[in-house]
Amino acid sequence: MRAGGIRLEIRRLIKTKVPKVEVYGYPARDERHFRSLFAVVRAYLDDLDRGRFVFRPGLHCSMCDYAGGPCREWS
Protein backbone atom coordinates (compact mmCIF):
# COMPACT_ATOMS: atom_id res chain seq x y z
CA MET A 1 0.00 0.00 0.00
CA ARG A 2 1.37 3.39 -0.86
CA ALA A 3 1.88 6.10 1.71
CA GLY A 4 -1.32 7.90 2.56
CA GLY A 5 -3.58 4.90 1.97
CA ILE A 6 -6.12 4.31 -0.71
CA ARG A 7 -8.58 7.08 -1.50
CA LEU A 8 -12.00 6.05 -2.77
CA GLU A 9 -13.66 8.16 -5.41
CA ILE A 10 -17.10 7.38 -6.84
CA ARG A 11 -18.29 9.06 -10.02
CA ARG A 12 -21.95 9.14 -10.94
CA LEU A 13 -23.36 10.15 -14.32
CA ILE A 14 -26.58 12.13 -14.05
CA LYS A 15 -28.65 11.60 -17.20
CA THR A 16 -30.63 14.77 -17.65
CA LYS A 17 -31.16 17.17 -20.52
CA VAL A 18 -27.74 18.56 -19.68
CA PRO A 19 -25.78 15.52 -18.39
CA LYS A 20 -23.34 16.00 -15.57
CA VAL A 21 -20.93 13.94 -13.52
CA GLU A 22 -21.00 14.04 -9.73
CA VAL A 23 -17.84 13.04 -7.90
CA TYR A 24 -17.88 11.77 -4.32
CA GLY A 25 -14.55 11.49 -2.54
CA TYR A 26 -13.85 9.56 0.63
CA PRO A 27 -10.78 9.85 2.85
CA ALA A 28 -7.83 7.53 2.49
CA ARG A 29 -7.90 4.32 4.49
CA ASP A 30 -4.94 3.22 6.53
CA GLU A 31 -3.72 -0.11 7.87
CA ARG A 32 -5.95 0.19 10.96
CA HIS A 33 -9.12 0.38 8.83
CA PHE A 34 -8.16 -2.70 6.82
CA ARG A 35 -7.26 -4.70 9.94
CA SER A 36 -10.68 -3.89 11.38
CA LEU A 37 -12.45 -4.86 8.15
CA PHE A 38 -10.58 -8.17 7.86
CA ALA A 39 -11.29 -8.99 11.53
CA VAL A 40 -15.03 -8.58 10.93
CA VAL A 41 -14.92 -10.71 7.78
CA ARG A 42 -12.84 -13.40 9.56
CA ALA A 43 -15.34 -13.53 12.46
CA TYR A 44 -18.22 -13.85 9.99
CA LEU A 45 -16.54 -16.70 8.11
CA ASP A 46 -15.64 -18.48 11.36
CA ASP A 47 -19.27 -18.33 12.48
CA LEU A 48 -20.41 -19.77 9.15
CA ASP A 49 -17.94 -22.64 9.54
CA ARG A 50 -19.33 -23.34 13.03
CA GLY A 51 -22.91 -23.33 11.78
CA ARG A 52 -23.83 -20.08 13.50
CA PHE A 53 -26.15 -18.48 11.01
CA VAL A 54 -28.65 -15.68 11.53
CA PHE A 55 -31.86 -16.16 9.59
CA ARG A 56 -33.06 -12.82 8.22
CA PRO A 57 -35.83 -13.46 5.72
CA GLY A 58 -36.47 -10.98 2.95
CA LEU A 59 -36.96 -10.60 -0.79
CA HIS A 60 -33.44 -11.91 -1.37
CA CYS A 61 -34.52 -15.35 -0.05
CA SER A 62 -36.22 -16.19 -3.36
CA MET A 63 -32.77 -16.17 -5.04
CA CYS A 64 -30.91 -18.09 -2.34
CA ASP A 65 -29.78 -21.72 -2.57
CA TYR A 66 -30.39 -22.19 1.18
CA ALA A 67 -33.95 -20.85 1.34
CA GLY A 68 -35.49 -24.32 1.18
CA GLY A 69 -34.25 -25.63 4.49
CA PRO A 70 -30.70 -25.18 5.82
CA CYS A 71 -31.15 -21.47 6.49
CA ARG A 72 -34.24 -22.01 8.65
CA GLU A 73 -32.57 -24.96 10.42
CA TRP A 74 -29.49 -22.87 11.31
CA SER A 75 -31.61 -20.18 12.92
Q: For the whole model, what pTM was predicted?
A: 0.48
The answer to whether residue 67 sits within a structural domain is yes
Instruction: Place 67 in a pLDDT band, splitting at 50, 70 and 90.
Output: low
Alpha-carbon gap, residue 14 to 55, rounded angstroms: 37
**pLDDT tens figures, 47-61:** 888 877 666 777 877
Residues of the domain holding 41 = 6-74
Taking only Cα atoms into account, the Rg of the chain, rounded to an integer number of angstroms, comes to 20
From CA 48, how far away is CA 56, in angstroms rounded? 14
Give 2-44 pLDDT, tens digit per residue. 455 568 899 999 999 999 999 999 888 889 989 999 999 999 8
Number of domains in the chain: 1
Does residue 1 sit within a domain?
Answer: no
Q: According to the model, what pLDDT value does residue 38 have? A: 96
Residues paired with residue 72 on neighbouring β-strands, in sequence order: none
User: What beta strand segments (E) does 30-75 contain?
Assistant: none
